[in-house]
Structure 1
Amino acid sequence: WRSISCFRLLASLPYMSIVGQIVPWNFPFLMAAWKLAPVLASGCCTVLKPSKTTSLSVLYFADLIKDVLPPGVFNVITGAGSKAGQYMLDHKGFCKLAFTGSTEVGLSVAKAAAEKLIPATLELGGKSANIFFADCNLEQAYDGAQLGILFNQGQVCCAGSRIFVQEDIYDEFVAELAKRFNKVKIGLPWKEDTQLGATIYKAQLDKVLSYVELAKEEGATIACGGEQATDGALKNGIFMKPTLITNATNDMRVAREEIFGPVAVVIKFKTEEEVIKMANDSDYGLGGAVWTQDINRAFRVASSIETGRVWVNTYNQIPEGSPFGGYKQSGIGRETHKVILEHYTQMKNILINLSGQPSGFYSQK
Structure 2
Amino acid sequence: MIVRNYIDGMFRESPSTFKKLSPVDGRVVALVHEANAGDVNDAVMAARAASDGAWGGMSQRERSGLLGKVASLIEARFDDFVEAELADTGRPRAAAQEFDVPRTADTFRLFAGLAGSYPGQSWQTEAPGILAINYELRRPAGVVAAIAPWNMPMVLLAFKIAPALAVGNGVVAKPSEEAPSTASIMAEIFDEAGLPAGAFNLVNGFGVDSAGAFLTSHQGVNRISFTGETRTGQHVMRSASAMVRPVSLELGGKNPTIVFEDADIAAAIAGTARAAFYNCGQVCLCTERVYVHRSRYDEFVAGLKAAAEKLVIGAPDDAGVQMGPLISRKHRDRVLSYLEIARQDGTIITGGGVPVFGDVRDEGAFVQPTIVTDIPETSRFVTEEVFGPVCHVAPFDDEDEAVALATGSDYGLVSVIWSGNTSRALRVAGRMRSGVVWVNGWLIRDLRTPFGGVGLSGIGKEGGYASLDFYTDQTNVCVKL
TM-score, normalised with respect to structure 1: 0.93
SS at match of 2:292: strand
Partner in structure 2 of residue 358 of structure 1:
none
Alignment equivalent of 2:156, drawn from 21, 28, 31 = 31
Amino acid at match of 1:43: G
Contact 1:134 1:169 (8 Å CA) reproduced: yes
Alignment equivalent of 2:338, drawn from 186, 205, 211 = 211
Alignment equivalent of 1:78, drawn from 204, 211, 214 = 204
Partner in structure 2 of residue 62 of structure 1:
187
Alignment equivalent of 1:21, drawn from 146, 162, 167 = 146
- How many angstroms does 1:243 deviate by? 0.3
Contact 1:250 1:267 (8 Å CA) reproduced: no
**RMSD (Å) for aligned C-alpha atoms:** 1.6
Partner in structure 2 of residue 155 of structure 1:
282
Amino acid at match of 1:230: V
Q: Can you list the C-alpha shifts for 1:131-183, whole angstroms capped at 9, x where unaligned?
A: 11111111111111111111110001111110111111111111221122111
Structure 2 residue 348 is matched with structure 1 residue 222: yes
Partner in structure 2 of residue 361 of structure 1:
none
Alignment equivalent of 2:363, drawn from 233, 236, 239 = 236
SS at match of 2:225: strand
Partner in structure 1 of residue 249 of structure 2:
122
SS at match of 1:118: coil
Amino acid at match of 1:71: A
Structure 2 residue 298 is matched with structure 1 residue 261: no
Q: Distance in 2 between matches of 1:62 and 1:12?
A: 18
Q: Can you list the C-alpha shifts for 1:318-362, whole angstroms capped at 9, x where unaligned?
A: 2332222111111111212212222111221223345xxxxxxxx
Q: Distance in 2 between matches of 1:305 and 1:352?
A: 44
Structure 2 residue 309 is matched with structure 1 residue 182: yes
Q: Distance in 1 between matches of 2:236 and 2:333?
A: 27
Contact 1:198 1:237 (8 Å CA) reproduced: yes
Partner in structure 1 of residue 433 of structure 2:
306
Amino acid at match of 1:79: G
Partner in structure 2 of residue 360 of structure 1:
none
Amino acid at match of 2:373: T
Alignment equivalent of 1:139, drawn from 256, 266, 283 = 266
Q: Distance in 2 between matches of 1:90 and 1:323?
A: 27
**Pair 1:8–1:245, CA change in 2 (3 A):** same
- Mark the runs of 5 or more structure 2 residues left unpaired by the alignment: 1-5, 13-38, 53-139
Contact 1:147 1:316 (8 Å CA) reproduced: no
Q: Distance in 1 between matches of 2:155 and 2:420?
A: 33
- How many angstroms does 1:186 deviate by? 0.8
- How many angstroms does 1:202 deviate by? 0.4
Partner in structure 1 of residue 168 of structure 2:
43
SS at match of 2:332: helix
* 4+ residue runs over 3 A deviation: 2-5, 10-16
Contact 1:243 1:262 (8 Å CA) reproduced: yes
Contact 1:221 1:248 (8 Å CA) reproduced: yes
Q: Can you list the C-alpha shifts for 1:89-124, whole angstroms capped at 9, x where unaligned?
A: 221001111100011011111111111111000100
Q: Distance in 2 between matches of 1:242 and 1:206?
A: 15
Amino acid at match of 1:235: D
Q: Distance in 1 between matches of 2:304 and 2:411?
A: 25
SS at match of 2:474: coil
Contact 1:285 1:307 (8 Å CA) reproduced: yes
- Mark the runs of 5 or more structure 1 residues left unpaired by the alignment: 355-365
TM-score, normalised with respect to structure 2: 0.71
**Pair 1:247–1:84, CA change in 2 (3 A):** same
Partner in structure 1 of residue 44 of structure 2:
7
Q: Distance in 2 between matches of 1:121 and 1:8?
A: 22
Partner in structure 2 of residue 52 of structure 1:
177
Q: Can you list the C-alpha shifts for 1:219-243, whole angstroms capped at 9, x where unaligned?
A: x100100000113444332211110
Tell me which protein shows more strand as a share of its residues.
2
Q: Can you list the C-alpha shifts for 1:251-297, whole angstroms capped at 9, x where unaligned?
A: 22111100000010112111111111111111101111000100011
Q: Distance in 2 between matches of 1:325 and 1:206?
A: 29
Q: Distance in 1 between matches of 2:49 and 2:465?
A: 29
Q: Distance in 2 between matches of 1:159 and 1:116?
A: 33
Contact 1:230 1:236 (8 Å CA) reproduced: no
- How many angstroms does 1:299 deviate by? 0.3
- How many angstroms does 1:11 deviate by? 5.9
The percent identity for this pair of structures is 36
Amino acid at match of 2:465: K
- How many angstroms does 1:317 deviate by? 2.1
Moved more, 294-303 or 248-257: 248-257
Contact 1:42 1:345 (8 Å CA) reproduced: yes
- How many angstroms does 1:16 deviate by? 4.1
Contact 2:413 2:436 (8 Å CA) reproduced: yes
Aligned residues: 353
1:299-338 aligned at under 5 Å gives the runs 299-338=426-465
